[in-house]
Structure 1
């Protein structure tokens, strides 16, 4: 790799920004021309007597009959409610009642963390009740209520919007559609990310016993029914019919580098919504573009969200609804200003690239008789060269390339398939997928992990990371067996330069996830007679 930078944990990063925001706000307090009043220390008693800590910005009314729409912000994982203070101030000054609160189990709020469970949703409804109880004093219009949030707050926003008919608009940034996909997507336990969430909850909140059970079951791959029931019950996906029936305007933002709530799953969720909708797909890791946008007035994500709220809470015609609903950021940096806009998922149209026995990657299928020979063969190993630099969120946010020396990959544990140089620049915008016809030497299961790279002809041994994908099978037919698996890679929107080639690398282990088989004798072989193929979106 060509870099050594490491980023802060996302939660600590957001907390730091929140403290900066508090300092910024403190400067504004003496300003007599302010258009809103800050209620800095509110305590809301929930249904089970748990106290939720909150603050609110109340607009200064021009008359006793003026009414203001309401926006409620639940906190992100690990963050105090001050996370949103600069945007809440801005919204208060623009004529919205803006309230931010700490969900149960975090910071000054009581109770244990419910991980967007039923208690969190009941709490959100109590918060709406609290605003309603002050509606006369605050001149709040309870017929125009929105919820908005980042990450954990985004999930609670969508779940509450689908549960409480008083919520008329939802803005969810770096959220999820199905929590099971976070914990167990492609049947692959998301070990490192789950462990990180649990550790941060121990430092900054009060985790429940259920959270420890979830981590234990993921680590040991036990009690899968609990994992899926836990995740599915906390998934906005199950409320799609409600969103559509009530025609709730839903604004979504997701990031290509998000390894918590992966963008390909949100892109699958988006077409199911027939209500007014918009999805921004952005460069960068989980929550970082949205968190930076809390304090940057030029943030495209937040400016689009403000237009969405203005259009659907204030009924102002500002052009947002005339825009194409799917907007994908090009390039690599979170500060990129170039986007491509679509009316539907561009992944529907694909260009196949077939894996060949000689290690090439071809746009036409190799002879079918290659299917009778299973090669190349790779073995399990915990020592791997291929990776995506998943610990370096700051590096990724700045759009700096992750480069791997592909020539250093061990050929006994890594399969590499490389295309000829491209004869024209190629736009890859959408969700790639990988189909593999595999022969395995074990009946206990396996995991395959795929990386996609671009190779510049000037640096023929170096692969610049593009995207990744994975799949786990926990039990197979009696050994030896042959099976076909298909799995998505992370959504991306990149231009691959003319003269560059693409490389698909496949290994059997990644430290981020729990492997299904860790025997060094375990191996996988590939059938390449047109049955193993990489499909790239070709919009």
Structure 2
């Protein structure tokens, strides 16, 4: 990474992973639970607070954690002496800690659960230091469960762990190691932390910077801080991947499979913190009951309205999932298929029995040297080989992943996805290949795969492949993308690369075109291109360059 690029990453403005949360409103709700004073609450929140006070014992608690620390928490417990299922909720990556679950914890409790929400170590009022879902965090989760069981006089019949973002990874890991856990709900989660930080050997500098900024008030352990600094600096990669492996649910999938733990996932198609392919890898590796809800948006955005207490299908499905697997409710969620995806951009919900059933058949589009009407390359049904196209590195183009982490996803959810002016993309700093206008709609379902031949004039190289939906006026929306880095090449070496773009569920309208744009810089990623280097894309007869798009 260039020193200029590294500095830009460090100087990025602070990013909240939960920009829509009203901390004062959540505190006001908690105060009503504790005091009975519902002044200033909506009618719905007032009714919930009054009902909770009538049925439950509630209050802030200090939970004994691993190594003698204490974790801040809030406990909802029934006082009727009957057996109830239990839910433990590790907090997201925010100083709000357990407060983020104040409304949902109450709703679960009113639905018959003992509930304990706690703030992960190193955040807020909890002790210890941030270990990023390390062994101490897993031990904390088990300790929190033990505490909950002790407080409920053993009136528990089934245990679930539920978390959003940071808490979702911890929930999966605790379930893998603690046999008392019988179901999981993991929202905006990860499966392989190494792939999330180093996607195709490309460092995710924007996401790591966002995590650092969001934890500005947290107490990061020396090892955690060193890992984040190493990712930004591009050093100690093998040590970081070893660190990430232990913190990846995918590493511990066998423990979950041995007990066939039911796991519910929720993710966004344009997830920028934990891109969805690594979560899909985890999802597909699970052998027990499982469900994945895909939504329009970015990290934690699709479930945000539920955190605020508004109707939300992600939280509704999480409730139904735990109700079915912990309470035995015959609510039908087990019969709706393993996948429910919200299609961009019409918000249609599509259920599928499995991920494989949802995926379309690959349709091959070859990269051709020139198009019929423009100087751009073409995407064609037949190979046209023998051409080359040279791209200068070092200059960013309007072809970017998004305008910003998190916030761009809210615009997408509101029906205002980023509009790209494809005419403004420099053809010297990017390679552009466009298909003909579609005669009928194209339903992209699955993982587009790019097979690209290129050579770099430098030993190391980076490129980002973007797939766009381009309208008749040449304005575009992004469908999906993926970065690629080669760190051990030789100058001029010809490479044949297979690159899986992030999975997508997207409908392209008739009259629109598919456009592939390959450039060499993006503010989301580290740039490993040499100073003044060029990339030369080609399509030799033996190994033509092509894009496989999954059409359903």
Question: Normalising to structure 2: TM-score of the pair?
Answer: 0.89
2:354 maps to 1:343: yes
- For structure 2, the 5+ residue unaligned runs are 1-11, 38-48, 371-375
Task: Give the aligned partner of residue 236 of structure 1.
Answer: 249
The separation in 2 between residues aligned to 1:259 and 1:481, in whole angstroms, is: 31
Q: How much does 1:518 deviate?
A: 3.7
Write the mapping of 1:328-477 to structure 2, written as runs, cut at 5 A.
Answer: 328-332=341-345, 336=347, 338-345=349-356, 346-347=358-359, 349-358=361-370, 359-367=376-384, 370-371=385-386, 373=387, 375-391=388-404, 392-442=408-458, 444-457=459-472, 459=473, 461-476=474-489
Structure 1's 88 and 337: CA in aligned 2 closer, same or farther, altered over 3 A? farther
Partner secondary structure for residue 154 of structure 1: helix
SS in 2 for 1:285: coil
**Residue 135 of structure 2: aligned partner:** 118
User: Kindly tell me: are residues 492 and 8 of structure 1, through their superposed partners in 2, closer, same or farther at Cα, counting changes over 3 Å?
Assistant: farther
CA contact (8 A) 1:19 1:82 kept: no
Residue 6 of structure 2 corresponds to which residue in structure 1? none
Aligned residues of 2:305 and 2:311 also touching (Cα < 8 A): no
SS at match of 2:67: coil
Q: TM-score, normalised by structure 1?
A: 0.91
Counterpart for residue 13 of structure 1: 19
C-alpha root-mean-square deviation of aligned residues, in Å?
A: 2.1
Structure 1's 383 and 417: CA in aligned 2 closer, same or farther, altered over 3 A? same
| Count of residue pairs the alignment pairs up | 516
Cα 1:356–1:145 shift into 2, 3 Å:
same
Q: Partners in 2 of 1:129 and 1:169 — Cα distance?
A: 16
> Which residue is 2:294 aligned to?
281
Q: Secondary structure at the match of 1:225?
A: helix
Check conservation: 1:330, 1:340, Cα contact below 8 A: no
Deviation at 1:154, TM superposition (A): 0.2
| Alpha-carbon spacing, 1:32–1:292, altered in 2? closer, same or farther (3 Å) | closer
Where structure 1 has 5 or more consecutive residues not aligned to the other structure, the ranges are 1-5
Report what 1:3 is aligned to: none
Q: Secondary structure at the match of 1:479?
A: coil
The equivalent of 1:42 in structure 2 is: 61
The reply on whether 1:256 has 2:269 as its aligned counterpart is: yes
Could you give the per-residue CA deviations for residues 304-355 of structure 1, whole angstroms, max 9, x where no partner exists?
A: 111111110011211111111111111348xx35334342333462111111
Q: Distance in 2 between matches of 1:513 and 1:148?
A: 31
Q: Is the 8 A contact 2:453 2:496 kept in 1?
A: yes
3-state SS in 2 of match to 1:52:
strand
Q: Which segment is superposed worse, 75-84 or 148-157? A: 75-84
Counterpart CA distance in 2 for 1:426 and 1:218 is: 38
2:7 is aligned to none
2:230 counterpart residue number: 217
Q: Indicate if the aligned counterparts of 1:171 and 1:250 stay in contact, CA closer than 8 A.
A: yes
Matched, 1:188 2:202: yes
| CA-to-aligned-CA distance 1:362-384 (integer Å, 9 cap, x gap) | 342324xx24x4x1110102332
Does the 8 A contact of 1:388 with 1:402 survive in 2? Answer: no
Task: Indicate the SS of the match to 1:167.
Answer: coil
In structure 2, C-alpha distance between the alignment counterparts of 1:524 and 1:87, rounded to whole Å: 53
**Distance change in 2, residues 1:441/1:347 (3 Å):** farther
